[in-house]
């Protein structure tokens, strides 16, 4: 079965690479190149980089379009609304990194860690007009533990690609059960640590690492904390990045302060 893939972000790139090992990928549908990083230089989305390395045709319309007819389209971290007229042309299966209906929306991994959830997982569901509300074809949970978002995304990609393999030919759907919760996009306020709440601060560092970064002030300097641990009820930074500087160990930062 030739399938299409709609993906943009690193999670989608990871799932694309895993699916390409066992399926013929007809095309990648991804978002247009966009400014990235501190220099705001225009660059390709991660899924496009993966597809070009694998020799998969890439399509980047401003609004989603199917470049050809396929029986299945796997959607993972695509980031654009897929209109009903396209959903009627093929079966779209979404790889969503949460246990739906918990954490529908843009930032399910980050919100699960911020909320202190003990587990998360992956849901394969039919893409419908309503956000992450389609019936479920497969669902698998795994513990979060002390993992950061990057580690959870890596686990989700492995689980998601495997579940897609299991259901893509002949999926059987069941409705979502329970009241949904929504994972709003991470905003500037979500990045700020509260020094008076070390448990929340530790969750925030993990939830925003390695892709966004939690912010605070240490020894009079604004820094991003990329890694930390919780020790005797206190937040202990391990990897930090002062504004305008590179990432460094906390010990190296302290030597610069002294």
* CATH classification at residue 30: 3.40.50.170
Cα distance from N-terminal residue to C-terminal residue, the chain: 62
| Helix ranges restricted to H, the chain | 10-20, 46-54, 84-87, 108-114, 149-167, 198-207, 250-257
Tell me how far apart the alpha carbons of residues 133 and 63 are, in angstroms, rounded to a whole number.
21
Instruction: Looking at the structure, tell me whether residues 200 and 99 fall in a common domain.
Output: no
pLDDT score recorded for residue 238: 97
Instruction: Looking at the structure, tell me whether residues 58 and 18 fall in a common domain.
Output: yes
Instruction: Looking at the structure, tell me whether residues 178 and 58 fall in a common domain.
Output: yes
* Domains identified in the chain, total number: 2
Q: What is the CATH number of the domain that holds 218?
A: 3.10.25.10
pLDDT score recorded for residue 258: 66
Q: CB count, 10 Å around CB of 8?
A: 24
Instruction: Looking at the structure, tell me whether residues 88 and 25 fall in a common domain.
Output: yes
pTM: 0.95
Pick the last residue of a domain from 154, 183, 212. Answer: 183
Note whether 248 and 239 are within 8 A (CB): yes
Instruction: Looking at the structure, tell me whether residues 30 and 157 fall in a common domain.
Output: yes
Instruction: Looking at the structure, tell me whether residues 169 and 77 fall in a common domain.
Output: yes
Instruction: Looking at the structure, tell me whether residues 178 and 201 fall in a common domain.
Output: no
Instruction: Looking at the structure, tell me whether residues 47 and 164 fall in a common domain.
Output: yes
Pick the last residue of a domain from 137, 167, 183. Answer: 183
Instruction: Looking at the structure, tell me whether residues 131 and 22 fall in a common domain.
Output: yes
Instruction: Looking at the structure, tell me whether residues 173 and 220 fall in a common domain.
Output: no
Instruction: Looking at the structure, tell me whether residues 243 and 125 fall in a common domain.
Output: no
Instruction: Looking at the structure, tell me whether residues 172 and 203 fall in a common domain.
Output: no
pLDDT score recorded for residue 48: 98
Q: What SS3 string covers 185-214? A: CCCHHHHECCCCCHHHHHHHHHHCCCCCCE
- Give the chain's radius of gyration (CA, Å): 20
Domain that holds residue 66: 2-183
Pick the last residue of a domain from 183, 218, 243. Answer: 183
- pLDDT tens sequence for the chain (258 residues): 899 999 999 999 999 999 999 999 999 999 999 987 767 789 999 999 999 999 999 999 999 999 999 999 999 999 999 999 999 999 999 999 999 999 999 999 999 999 999 999 999 999 999 999 999 999 999 999 999 999 999 999 999 999 999 999 999 999 999 999 999 999 999 999 998 999 999 999 999 999 999 999 999 999 999 999 999 999 999 999 999 999 999 999 999 876
Q: What SS3 string covers 6-37? A: EECCHHHHHHHHHHHCCCEEEEEECCCCEEEC
């Amino acid at each position: 079965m030739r399938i299409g893939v709609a993906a943009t972000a690193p999670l989608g790139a990871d799932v694309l690479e895993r699916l390409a090992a066992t399926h013929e990928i007809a095309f990648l549908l991804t978002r247009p190149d966009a400014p990235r990083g501190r220099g705001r230089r225009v660059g390709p989305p991660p899924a496009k980089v993966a597809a070009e390395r694998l020799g998969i045709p890439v399509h980047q319309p401003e609004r989603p379009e199917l470049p050809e007819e396929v029986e299945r389209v796997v959607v993972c971290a695509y980031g654009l609304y897929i209109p009903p007229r396209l959903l009627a042309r093929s079966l779209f299966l979404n790889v969503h990194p949460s246990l739906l209906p918990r954490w529908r929306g843009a930032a399910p991994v980050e919100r699960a860690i911020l909320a202190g959830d003990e587990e998360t997982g992956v849901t394969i569901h039919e893409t419908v007009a309503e956000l992450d509300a389609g019936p479920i074809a497969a669902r698998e949970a795994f513990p979060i533990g002390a993992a950061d978002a990057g580690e959870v995304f890596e686990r989700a990609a492995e689980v998601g690609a495997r579940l897609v393999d299991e259901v893509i030919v002949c999926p059987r759907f069941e409705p979502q059960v329970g009241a949904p919760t929504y994972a709003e996009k991470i905003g500037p306020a979500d990045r700020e640590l509260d020094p008076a709440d070390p448990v929340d601060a530790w969750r925030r560092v993990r939830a925003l690492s390695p892709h966004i970064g939690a912010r605070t002030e240490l020894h009079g300097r604004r820094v991003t904390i990329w890694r930390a641990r919780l020790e005797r009820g206190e937040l202990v930074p391990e990897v930090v990045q002062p504004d305008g500087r590179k990432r460094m160990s906390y010990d190296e930062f302290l030597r610069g302060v002294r």
